């Protein structure tokens, strides 16, 4: 009796898991499956690739460098030393109308927003509107945490301090008639940044929150609460341009969204009035403006379409090679 019970206790369970008999899917990679499979995958990829490529080609992109390095450049005059409040005009014409919403970007190159020290040089608590951090910014902001008078800088840090401050006005020149093209600056920043990550202190008016012994960033001409004089709601840390700048670029040549042109750009001559403030020549940088529309697949990107086409045609090619090999040697059924 006792022995039987003991045996039962010691006997291992007879389950699929303990006996390592779990069901397994074992693909039999025979020629009959692999060759049609490759053809199908290849054709699907080529299809996607063609669609992507054509869509990408239909997207219009217009790009102008306005750094002003060359003498004939309209902004050459603004590059000189100690030129303040310089405005230059960039004239261009559009032969093919930009349909749909046109996006207006500014671009910087050789600009390393991804420097490690630079990229952490901000105080997230401060930018969340926490007033206690207005008085004692995080050490990561150094050397832009306190000014020479030991007053705390709000918003602190290298990123905020180096905020892009060129402004643009786009005019449609129709003969002698100059129309200002309306630029929409709403909703150009990330939703999460605008609604969650960045917040203004809940003190009204906003000015009072900043005035208590804080100073504006050293390179700024206006304090944070006066970034947008036209729209009082677009100030402080939730200013759209500020938010766009604060999201650092991953690569040294980057674009950032400046404005949206909802009605598109019809054929015609245009003049872009640039108020040239941002110095880039000291680090061999370049500044440019870009106009682009988008499609269902996003912006212009031929790489993705080409990648799909290459992989697709490789699949088809491989299936042909395999078919030839298979036909030539007529492998007996694999065992």
Partner 1 sequence: CVGEEIWVDSRTVYIGHKEPPPGAEAYILQRYPDNRIVSSKYTFWNFIPKNLFEQFRRIANFYFLGIFLVQLIIDTPTSPVTSGLPLFFVITVTAIKQGYEDWLRHKADCSINECPVDVVQQGKVVRTQSHKLRVGDIVVVREDETFPCDLILLSSSRHDGTCYVTTASLDGESSHKTYYAVQDTMAFRTEQEVDSLHATIECEQPQPDLYKFVGRINIYKDKEEPVARPLGAENLLLRGATLKNTQHIYAVAVYTGMETKMALNYQSKSQKRSAVEKSMNAFLIVYLCILISKAVINTVLKYAWQWSPDRDEPWYNHRTENERQRHMVIRAFTDFLAFMVLFNYIIPVSMYVTVEMQKFLGSYFITWDEEMFDEELGEGAQVNTSDLNEELGQVEYVFTDKTGTLTENNMEFIECCVDGNVYIPHAICNGQILSAASSIDMIDSSPGGYRREHEDLFFRALCLCHTVQVKEEETVDGIKRGIHQGRPTSFYISSSPDEVALVEGMKRLGYTYLRLKDNYMEILNKDDDIERFELLHVLNFDSVRRRMSVIVKSSSGEYLLFCKGADSSIFPRVVSGKVEQVKARVEQNAIEGLRTLCVAYRRLSECEYQEACHHLNEAKLALQDREQRLAQAYDIIEKDFVLLGATAVEDRLQEKAADTIESLHKAGMKVWVLTGDKMETAAATCYASKLFRRSTQILELTKKRTEEQSLHDVLLSVDCLDFGLIIDGATLSAVLKANQERAGSGNYREIFLEICRNCSAVLCCRMAPLQKAQIVKLIKASKEHPITLAIGDGANDVSMILEAHVGIGIMGKEGRQAARNSDYAIPKFKHLKKMLLVHGHYYYIRIAELVQYFFYKNVCFIFPQFLYQFFCGFSQQHITMETLKRDPSLYRDIAKNSLLRWPVFLYWTCLGVFDAVIFFFGAYFLFDNTTFTSNGQLMTTNTQMMFGNWTFGTLVFTVLVFTVCFSLPWTHTTGPGSITLSSGGLS
Stretch that binds partner 1, among 4-12, 47-55, 122-130, 221-229 (CB under 8 A): 4-12
Contact 171, 260 (CB under 8 A): no
What distance in Å separates the CA atoms of residue 58 and residue 258, rounded to the nearest whole number?
Answer: 23
By CB under 8 A, the residues from 73 to 102 that bind partner 1 are 101
Which three-class secondary structure state does DSSP give residue 44?
helix
57 backbone dihedrals φ, ψ, rounded to 5°: -65, -30
What track of x and - describes contact with partner 1 for positions 157 through 176 (by CB under 8 A)?
-x--xx--------------
Stretch that binds partner 1, among 30-38, 43-51, 296-304, 317-325 (CB under 8 A): 296-304
Q: How far is the CB of 31 from partner 1 (least distance, A)?
A: 19
Among 1, 175, 282, 333, binds partner 1 (CB under 8 A): 282
Please give the C-alpha separations between residue 155 and each of 74, 145, 151, 159, 276, in angstroms, as whole numbers: 34, 9, 12, 9, 23
Among 1, 24, 28, 84, binds partner 1 (CB under 8 A): 24
Q: How long a stretch of residues is the chain?
A: 335
Count residues binding partner 1 (CB under 8 A).
67
Q: How far is the CB of 268 from partner 1 (least distance, A)?
A: 22
Q: Which CB sits closer to partner 1, 252 or 268?
A: 252
What distance in Å separates the CA atoms of residue 43 and residue 37, rounded to the nearest whole number?
Answer: 10
Contact 235, 226 (CB under 8 A): yes
Contact 238, 63 (CB under 8 A): no
Is 335 a binder of partner 1 (CB under 8 A)?
A: no
Q: Which CB sits closer to partner 1, 20 or 150?
A: 20
Q: Which residue carries 């303040």 as its tokens?
A: 84
Q: How far is the CB of 218 from partner 1 (least distance, A)?
A: 10
Is 185 a binder of partner 1 (CB under 8 A)?
A: no
Contact 39, 315 (CB under 8 A): yes
What distance separates the 2 farthest-apart alpha carbons in the chain?
A: 112
What distance in Å separates the CA atoms of residue 85 and residue 195, rounded to the nearest whole number?
Answer: 33
By CB under 8 A, the residues from 140 to 159 that bind partner 1 are 142-144, 158
Summarize as ranges the residues that interact with partner 1 (CB under 8 A): 3, 6-7, 10-14, 18-26, 101, 103, 105, 107, 111-112, 114-119, 121, 142-144, 158, 161-162, 187-190, 244, 247-257, 260, 279, 282-284, 292, 294, 296, 298-301, 303-304, 307
């Amino acid at each position: 009796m006792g022995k039987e019970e003991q045996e039962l206790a010691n006997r291992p369970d007879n389950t699929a898991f303990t006996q390592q008999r779990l069901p397994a899917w074992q693909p039999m990679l025979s020629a009959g499956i692999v060759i049609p499979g490759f053809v199908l995958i290849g054709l699907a990829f080529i299809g996607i690739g063609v669609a992507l490529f054509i869509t990408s080609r239909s997207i219009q992109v217009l790009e102008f460098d306005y750094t002003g390095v060359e003498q004939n450049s309209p902004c050459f005059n603004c590059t000189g030393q100690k030129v303040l409040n310089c405005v230059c005009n960039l004239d261009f014409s559009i032969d093919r109308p930009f349909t749909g919403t046109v996006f207006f970007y500014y671009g910087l190159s050789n600009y390393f927003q991804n420097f490690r020290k630079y990229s952490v040089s901000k105080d997230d608590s401060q930018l969340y509107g926490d007033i206690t951090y207005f008085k004692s910014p995080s050490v990561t902001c150094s050397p832009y945490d306190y000014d020479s008078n030991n007053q705390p800088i709000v918003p602190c840090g290298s990123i905020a301090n180096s905020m892009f401050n060129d402004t643009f006005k786009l005019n449609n020149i129709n003969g002698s008639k100059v129309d200002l093209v309306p630029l929409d600056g709403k909703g150009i920043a990330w939703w999460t940044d605008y609604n969650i990550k960045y917040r203004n202190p809940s003190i009204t008016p906003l000015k009072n929150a900043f005035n208590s012994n804080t100073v504006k960033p050293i390179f700024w001409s206006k304090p944070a609460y006066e970034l947008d004089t036209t729209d009082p709601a677009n100030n402080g840390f939730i200013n759209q341009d500020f938010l766009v700048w604060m999201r650092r670029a991953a690569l040294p040549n980057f674009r950032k969204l400046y404005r949206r042109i909802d009605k598109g750009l019809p054929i015609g001559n245009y003049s872009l009035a640039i108020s040239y403030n941002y110095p880039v020549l000291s680090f061999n940088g370049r500044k440019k403006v870009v106009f682009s529309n988008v499609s269902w697949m996003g912006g212009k990107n031929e790489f993705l379409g080409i990648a799909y086409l290459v992989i697709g045609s490789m699949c088809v090619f491989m299936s042909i090679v395999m078919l030839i090999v298979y036909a030539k040697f007529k492998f007996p059924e694999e065992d």
